[in-house]
Amino acid sequence: MPLVKGIQQRIGAEKLEVLMLSVDLEYGMPKEEVLQGNSKVLNKRGVAWTNILLPNGFRDTQERFNLDGYGLALIGPDGIVRGIDLRGDDLEAAVRSTGLTNSAKD
């Protein structure tokens, strides 16, 4: 979370929107409990990201987004997936390649 938060702060929340996909409903946790837990984590980290509950958990991430497990996916403003399971400098490079930033210094 700190990596994504830092990139979003440098680029601007208006240019890089972050969505958190929650898979906890798959494990039978009540919806309100999942929402409270996720809200607590987001507040602790100081982020206001949209939290989406996936009713079928990891099956939804695989079927809808071609994601396998936890990880970061980058989807450009054109709807094209620009990267899956991105880490560190690869994430920042992928964000810059979408044209979201105005210069190499953004």
Q: At residue 104, does pLDDT exceed 60?
A: no
Tell me if residue 28 falls in helix, strand or coil: coil
The average confidence (pLDDT) of the chain is 80
Query: Is the Cβ–Cβ distance between 25 and 55 less than 8 Å?
Result: yes
Q: What is the mean pLDDT of residues 73-91?
A: 79
Query: Is the Cβ–Cβ distance between 52 and 21 less than 8 Å?
Result: yes
Q: At residue 100, does pLDDT exceed 70?
A: no
Q: At residue 48, does pLDDT exceed 60?
A: yes
Q: At residue 62, does pLDDT exceed 60?
A: yes
Q: At residue 54, does pLDDT exceed 80?
A: yes
Query: Among residues of the chain, what percentage have pLDDT more than 90?
Result: 3
Which tokens belong to 53?
């509950």
**DSSP H/E element including 35:** helix 31-45
